[in-house]
Amino acid sequence: MINPPSSIEIVNPDVPRGNIRAAMLDFDGTLSLVRSGWVDVMSAYFVEELAKAPHAEPRNHLDSLAREFIAELNGRQTVHQCARLAEEIEQRGGAPLTPEGYKQGYLERLDRLVDERLLAIRASHAGRMAYTVPGASAFLESLQSRGIMLALASGTDLDAVQTEADALEISRFFGPRIYGPSAENPDFSKQNTIDRLLAELRLVRCEPLMVGAGDVAITPHLVSGSDGVYATYPNAMLQARTAARHLMHGDGSYPGSINTNVLKKHIDFPIVSAGSFEGEALTWQKGDIWRRVYLKEGKINGYLIIGDTRMSGYVYQLYRSQKRVDRRIKAILSSPRHDSYYREMLGVWDS
C-alpha cells in the first residue's frame, strides 16, 4: 500500500514534540454541527430587516451584502454582526433596533432549528452522531487519556454551548473549563481565555499550548492594520507556520493578512484580486486582458487582474509595500513584456 503524500509541514524536526499540557478548542464547526447552517438563518433574517428600510436595494443585492459582512465579522460575538446590521439599515433611511434587539430576533429563529436538532440528538445515538463532527469524541478521548487538560471556548452564548455540549455528551471532557459570553462575562474573548489558562496552569508563552479552532481567525490587515477575518491562502498557511514555530519554542511573529482571491480552476482564464476596491480607479485593457488598480494618496489600495496574471506578483508587492506608484502605474499596467520589475530596478520607464 502506498501512503499518500503528507500535507503536514515539519517546521523544526530537531525539537522534541508531544509535551503538550493543555488544549483549547472551539465548539461550533470544530466539535459540534448543531448550529450548522446558521449563516443561512442569519442572512435570511438580516435581508428581511434590511428590506424594510425606505431606500433598500433589491433582495438579491441585500443577500450578497448581508453574507459579506456576516463573513467579515465571523468569529466575533453575534452582537457585532447585529451592530453592523443596524448601521446598514440606518444608511438606507431606516430606524434600526438596538444590536441586542436584532441578536434576540436572530437567536429566536436559530433556536427553532437548534431545538429540533436537540430533540433528534437526545432521541438516539444516531441523532447524536449526526450532529457531532466525525472523530471529535475519539479525538477528545485520546487527548484526555494522555493527561492533557481540555478547555472549550466559543463565541456562542455560554448557556447554549453548555446545553449543546451536554446533549452531545462531550461536556464531560472539559469539566468547569467551558467558556463563552454570558451576563457575568459580557467582555468574553478567546484571547482573554487563553491568558486565563496560561495563568491558571502557570505556563509561559514559549511552553507548549495547543489551540484548536474552526475555519476563521481574526488578524490585523497587513496594510491597513484593521482587524478582520482573512483565512484564504497564503494567509492561513503563514498563520499556521507562525503558530507552529511558537509551539516548537521558535520565534517570529505574524505580520498581518491581506484579503486576496485567486480564481483559475473552474473558469477559462484566471482572476487575481487583493485589497479594497475604493479610490481612484485606473484601468488598462487589451483583448481578454483586463487590469485595474485603485489608488489612494498615490498608493495601491486594491487591484483586480483578469486574463494574463503573470504580473500580479509584482503588483502584490507594490500594494504590500505601499510605495507611491501614481506616476508610473500606467506603464506598469500596460507593460506587454511583464518586465515592470526589471524596469523599476534600472530606473527605465516609458514616457
Q: Is the dihedral of CA 143, 149, 152, 153 positive or negative?
A: negative
Task: Please state the rounded mean pLDDT for residues 95-122.
Answer: 95
What stretch(es) of the chain map to CATH 3.40.50.1000? Answer: 22-33+132-247
What does the pLDDT look like over 63-74, one tens digit per residue? 999 998 888 787
More confident site: 80 or 338: 80
Angstrom CA distances, 85 to 100, 165, 247, 338, stand at 11, 29, 38, 44
Banded model confidence at residue 225, pLDDT cuts 50, 70, 90: confident
* Residue 276 scores a pLDDT above 60: yes
Three-state secondary structure call for residue 143: helix
* Residue 154 scores a pLDDT above 80: yes
* Residue 14 scores a pLDDT above 90: no
For position 316, what pLDDT does the model report? 86
Element (H, E) at 149: strand 149-153
Question: CATH 3.30.460.30: does it fit domain 22-33+132-247?
Answer: no
Instruction: Write out the CATH class of domain 260-346.
Output: alpha beta
Angstrom CA distances, 52 to 4, 91, 128, 183, 316, stand at 54, 12, 39, 31, 41
* Residue 184 scores a pLDDT above 90: no
Q: Output the CA angle 319-323-329, nearest 5 degrees.
A: 75
* Residue 209 scores a pLDDT above 90: no
Three-state secondary structure call for residue 128: helix
For position 95, what pLDDT does the model report? 95
Q: Output the CA angle 51-57-63, nearest 5 degrees.
A: 70
CB 153 within 8 A of CB 180: yes
For position 199, what pLDDT does the model report? 84
Task: Please state the rounded mean pLDDT for residues 294-318.
Answer: 88
Banded model confidence at residue 216, pLDDT cuts 50, 70, 90: low
The rounded distance, in Å, linking the Cα atoms of 116 and 61 is: 31
| Spatial CA neighbour of 82 closest among 45, 113, 133, 124 | 45
Tell me how far apart the terminal alpha carbons of the chain are, to the nearest angstrom. 63
For position 164, what pLDDT does the model report? 96
Q: β-strands 210-212, 22-25: how paired?
A: parallel
Angstrom CA distances, 213 to 24, 120, 141, 231, 263, stand at 8, 26, 18, 12, 26
For position 186, what pLDDT does the model report? 80
The rounded distance, in Å, linking the Cα atoms of 66 and 43 is: 6
Task: Please state the rounded mean pLDDT for residues 275-284.
Answer: 90
For position 350, what pLDDT does the model report? 52
- Look at the pTM and tell me if it is higher than 0.75: no
What stretch(es) of the chain map to CATH 3.30.390.30? Answer: 260-346
Cβ atoms within 10 Å, residue 63: 17
Cβ atoms within 10 Å, residue 102: 24
In order, the DSSP letters of 291-341 are EEEEEETTEEEEEEEES--TTHHHHHHHHHHT-B-TTTHHHHHT-TT--HH
* Residue 51 scores a pLDDT above 60: yes
For position 208, what pLDDT does the model report? 47
* Residue 90 scores a pLDDT above 50: yes
Banded model confidence at residue 15, pLDDT cuts 50, 70, 90: low
What does the pLDDT look like over 236-270, one tens digit per residue? 677 777 766 665 556 667 777 777 766 654 455 68
The rounded distance, in Å, linking the Cα atoms of 320 and 224 is: 10
